[in-house]
Chains A and B, each alone.
Chain A
Amino acid sequence: MKQMTEPDDAFRSQIKKAVDRLEVPDGCLDEIRKEIGKEADEDHGPDGMRRFPWRRVVLIAAAVLLTAALGVGIFAWMRSVEPTVPVHPDPGTIPVSEADASRTDVSENAASSSAEESEPAEPGQVPDQQERSEPVIESAETSAESGIRMESDDDGSRTMNPDRSGSGSEDAVSSETPESSDSDEPLPSDDPDSEGPGEHTDGLLPQDVSDQNEVYVGYDVPAERIIDAYTAFISEGPGKGKVALAIQYLTDLLPIDRLYAARDYYIMGVLTVFNEGLFRGEEDMLRFHTSYIRGASPETVGIYDSYEQLVNMDFTDTYNLYCRTYEKEGVRIYAIGHRLTSEGGYDPYSLYFQIEGIWFRMDANGYDFPDGDGVLRSPDEWPSGIRYVTEEQKELSDVSTTSSALILGIKKALE
């Protein structure tokens, strides 16, 4: 124990006095003991030996069965809406459903696209390079209105970026607003000859908005509710205005327009607020982030200041990450991304930032939170905490140290 100082001693005495003033009501402890006695009696048989907890086992089994039945029901319902609403595990790529693939000349990608739909993607986990890169190339060819651009590097590889600037650049990440390229092409689903739900008559938005909304019944969260939570957080949460500023900036960075453009549904992200003292610095943050990514460690993460620096790295591991830093109005943001292809495609994934000693994280792909399996879930189903995959991560944090995980959802206004 640390050497106690006089002020420490005085503080201790104050605490003791204060807590000791909480007087236990008469008979309360006896009542508690009596209740515990009853429970304890149930734990033991007449012979004094501990009983097998049948009741608990039966209850747990019933709960499991109920959950399974519910799961099957939800799965069946999901299957019934799946053909009209492809849900893609990766927010960085626009879904390419089998139906889309069959309507367009992407037959060679149908298998990989299908595989992507069926294979869960964990947060921070990049699917196999082969599966991942092809749909990106095919699906990211979209209209200028969608805000999605494909960037062609010199070697012919392409990188998807949300485009807000409208200007061209060879460097996909070296500027704060990723820029466009010469290779804008319509999405397969934007094919004006295509039919069916999700059809884009103008090459961008679904024709029948109400149908789209119906499809998402169960997922829809009233915009007001989200905005209320968002506003409350901004006005009351730590950092206040600065957080608002950072979030605004983050939403600029995140590739959410791609999802918006593809389908009219709420974009859901998760803003996680970590308690003070959890991360002592960047290294802790990186360790935390990489602790639940297969094959990743802080050592595999580099902080790069330029896109060139990133692409020139000799990556052999698909799961290598990079961290790009941004700074605006005194708020430093670490965008941790995944390398999609050997040519250097990237996908901004998690954005961490620190304000007044408190760390925040915003994830673009919160739509499949907390399981990261690509299944769109209502925010109602999200726990108020973050997901833990490894013991190491548990050690670094736990639900109780996460003061809140705020759901962010912004309804894309149809224009």
Chain B
Amino acid sequence: MGSADAGRPDSEAARIAFDAVYDRFAKDVWRICMLYLGNPEDAKDASQETFLRYWRTDNKPDGENHTKAWLIVTAGNVCKNMLKRKDRQAVPLDSLPEIGTREREPSGLLPALQKLPSKWKTAILLHYYEDLPAKEIAQAMGVSESTVFVFLSKGRKRLKEWMESENNETND
């Protein structure tokens, strides 16, 4: 944040706290946005919007897990809104040019993940990528714990089906 804020009691503490959160989660948030939107520029915009919402909210989540869940769920919502607003299809990740040095995707998991319904995707990412327990995911997503298990189970099943069918196609 800008150095001009030094000595401003109201904003200083908030910005230090914000910076800590940003440093800790910015990369994850960008990746989540990228998964939703499939476009680095849009992912950047969505990340920015997500963190701005975090900055502006008066009810900031407590604790690392809650903050993480809040950011991921918000990022998902921001991305969905962007997609809706722009009325466009997400570019499939497998059609993107390579960024940096990437190994070949084993069984195309990323594109499959991208195609998941958003709620399932959010649940899968929070649970398997961010290691959050179902209870906290449920709180963050505003659904019951059993619904989270349904999302996880269906998402996992769908991903496995896609990956298996892709493997079969490759073998054929």
Contact = CB atoms under 8 A, between A and B. Distances in A.
A37 B12 contact: no
A29 interface: yes
A43 interface: yes
Given A22-B34, A29-B30, A36 B128 contact: no
Given A23-B99, A28-B44, A31-B44, A43 B56 contact: yes
A33 B22 contact: yes
A18 interface: yes
Contacts, number: 123
Given A19-B129, A277-B151, A50 B2 contact: no
Nearest to A398: B142
Interface residues of B, number: 58
Interface residues of A, number: 41
A21 B5 contact: no
Contacts of B26: 29, 32-33
B128 A49 contact: no
Interface string B108-147: 0110010001110000110011010111000000110001
Nearest to A1: B133
A400 interface: yes
A196 interface: no
Contacts of B31: 19-20, 22, 24
A1 B99 contact: no
B15 A14 contact: no
Interface string A1-26: 11000000001101111111111110
B11 A44 contact: yes
Given A19-B31, A277-B147, A32 B154 contact: no
B110 A18 contact: yes
B66 interface: no
A49 B80 CA distance: 33
B1 A37 contact: yes
B8 A44 contact: yes
Interface string A163-181: 0000000000000000000
A40 B22 contact: no
A276 interface: yes
Nearest to A46: B8
Nearest to A33: B22
Nearest to A384: B84
B2 A24 contact: no
A35 interface: yes
B134 to A, nearest CB: 6
Interface in B42-57: 44, 47-48, 51-52, 55-56
The 5 closest A-B pairs by CB, nearest first: A48-B8, A1-B133, A18-B109, A277-B150, A15-B128
23 contacts: A1-B134, A14-B106, A15-B109, A15-B113, A15-B125, A15-B129, A16-B129, A18-B109, A18-B113, A19-B31, A19-B110, A23-B99, A24-B27, A24-B30, A36-B1, A40-B52, A47-B8, A48-B8, A49-B10, A276-B117, A276-B154, A277-B154, A395-B142
